[in-house]
Amino acid sequence: MASALLTSAAAGTEPAVEGRALWIPAWELTSHADVRGAIIQAAEYRFNAVFVQVRYRGDALYIPHRCTSYYTNPEPRSIYMKGQPGDFDPLALAVEEGHSWGLSVHAWVTCFEVTGGFAPQDENHVVNRHPEWVSCDRWGNRMGVGHRAWLDPGIPEARDYTASVLLDIVSNYEVDGLHLDYVRYEGPDMGFTPIAVSDYWVRTGLDADPEDEEWRAWRRDNVTEFVDRVQREAREINPEIIVSAAVFADRAGDAYDGVCQDWGRWLEEGLIDLALPMSYSLNAGTIGRQTTDAVTHAGDGLVYTGIALRNYNDGSKPLDPAVVRSHIEAVRAAGADGVAIFSYTDFREMILAGMTPDDLFSDSAEEPDREEW
């Protein structure tokens, strides 16, 4: 449905209807001033949606069971909220501020990666409560909790736990969307926990073999089952919620075979409303090709192409706004419904360097009509 939304834009002009989302990471939500500042700048620079990261790595930048405790959620307060009063609630503030500025606010949640290079000290952190859920490689080595540990999506209890945490957020906050990140396996050589391997053998009578398509298909189904459940139950709580996912842009390659992220199916079957392929190339042609592929497989869903603001391979400074604008134009030309900018950290640095609101978006735009989602 992407082309129907954007073909009305005349050549050289900006579309009147276009999703413009800004990813705001957890470390930018550490105080009232930070949250308000990020929201205000998003509005001033003509975005119409924000993805605020409120589950960084198995932690909470919100208040679990804020109003209702129907869903299990023991997750500890995020380290990014250290020093703030106990009632500080970045998500509630983002929703309040975002709506007052006319932005839709999506709760951005990291799904299966649960430590970020640090060993959580809180006894309620999932890696301390359930170390048996932490993913193993194909040789049986369990990822240490200080080294970006993941939960194994092949463990039903790990999927149930994660879904419950996400649904607790939806049931307690008036968010416009739930944005799934790291909703995948870490890679083809991970996800070999004894629990998962045993479950696979019981179900199929086969040994786990990373070269076996049946093993890979089972893993893809594990992730898809999780996405489907979260979407269905989130809709029961809030029928108007938008469920989206940040996905590998190489749909048929790295996404499908490497990390078992069958997001083309998710779009085509309506398991998500919106896909955000992370097309972080610095080449506009590559961005355009990846966007075209996503739009082709969107079904009735929407596509916002995610673009980066710097070259993350060399640690360089953020890109020139003119280069970013050329990437936005490539996304439009390929027929996407919108664009998502990663991330506010680099965006803020570009503002400090002199970028103006007109440098990326010269006119305001409405989000795609919710009736179409």
Task: Kindly state the average pLDDT of the residues 100-122.
Answer: 95
Given a cut of 80, whether residue 2 has pLDDT beyond it is no
Contact 40, 94 (CB under 8 A): no
Given a cut of 90, whether residue 213 has pLDDT beyond it is yes
Give the alpha-carbon dihedral of 49, 80, 171, 306, to 10 degrees: 30
Residue 113, token pair as written in the block? 């990666």
Residue 350, token pair as written in the block? 């570009």
Q: In the chain, what's the furthest Cα-to-Cα distance?
A: 62
Residue 8's pLDDT band, with cuts at 50, 70 and 90, is very low
Minimum mean pLDDT among 33-47, 80-94, 311-325: which range? 311-325
Residue 232: C-alpha distances to residues 161, 223, 238 (Å): 16, 14, 10
Residue 305's pLDDT band, with cuts at 50, 70 and 90, is very high
| pTM as predicted | 0.95
Identify residue 345 by its one-letter amino acid code.
T
CB neighbours of residue 244 within 10 Å:
27
Q: CA-to-CA distance for 242 and 265, rounded, in angstroms? A: 17
Task: Kindly state the average pLDDT of the residues 148-162.
Answer: 97
Given a cut of 70, whether residue 12 has pLDDT beyond it is no
pLDDT, residue 118, reads 82
CA proximity to 107, closest of 152, 65, 49, 66: 49
Give percent of the chain with pLDDT exceeding 90: 89
Given a cut of 70, whether residue 21 has pLDDT beyond it is yes
Please provide the average confidence, as pLDDT, over all residues in the chain.
Answer: 94
Fold (topology level) of 2-372: TIM Barrel (3.20.20)
Residue 221's pLDDT band, with cuts at 50, 70 and 90, is very high
Q: What is the pLDDT of residues 50-76, one digit of tens each?
A: 999 999 999 999 999 999 999 999 999
Q: CA-to-CA distance for 106 and 314, rounded, in angstroms? A: 30
pLDDT, residue 146, reads 55
| 242, containing H or E segment | strand 242-248
pLDDT, residue 128, reads 96
Q: What is the pLDDT of residues 311-366, one digit of tens each?
A: 887 778 899 999 999 999 999 999 999 999 999 999 999 999 999 999 999 999 99
Q: CA-to-CA distance for 185 and 263, rounded, in angstroms? A: 13
Residue 273, token pair as written in the block? 């409303």
Given a cut of 90, whether residue 142 has pLDDT beyond it is no
Peptide bond just before 343 cis, omega within 30 deg: yes
Q: Let me know the angle formed at the C-alpha of 169 by 168 and 172, rounded to the nearest 5 degrees.
A: 85
CB neighbours of residue 302 within 10 Å:
27
- Strand intervals (E) in 87-132: 104-110
pLDDT, residue 316, reads 80
Residue 373's pLDDT band, with cuts at 50, 70 and 90, is low
